Amino acid sequence: MPPATAGYALAYWTVYRRILANGTDQMRAAAAAGQLANGVDPERDGLALFALTQGLVGPLLIGAVTESQALAVLDHQILRLFT
């Protein structure tokens, strides 16, 4: 891997890890406050929500999924997680 590419990969990895950690921290705080539905695991479901948002980016950009469809999917998943 060329050095410039490796540098970009490390930068993206660092940012993604930070975003994921922030989301997981928020999920843990919600669990501690009793705001998560039964059976929700902050780490697993935080990662799943992060992966869902990342997975929607490409289809949104190319128009394979509409904004309304993406929001409906996100709303459904978020409502499933919280009480």
pLDDT in tens, 42-83: 999 999 999 999 999 999 999 999 999 999 999 999 999 998
pLDDT at 2: 64
pLDDT at site 1:
60
Instruction: Report the pLDDT value the prediction gives residue 42, as an integer from 0 to 100.
Output: 95
Average pLDDT over residues 30-41: 96
36 has which bridge partners? 82
How many domains would you assign to the chain? 1
Rounded mean pLDDT, 4-33: 90
Encoded amino acid at 13, one letter: W
Predicted local confidence at residue 83, as pLDDT: 81
Boundaries of domain holding 18: 3-81
DSSP string of 11-48? HHHHHHHHHHHHHHHHHHHHHHTT-BPTT--HHHHHHH
What span, in angstroms and rounded, lies between the C-alpha atoms of 9 and 23? 21
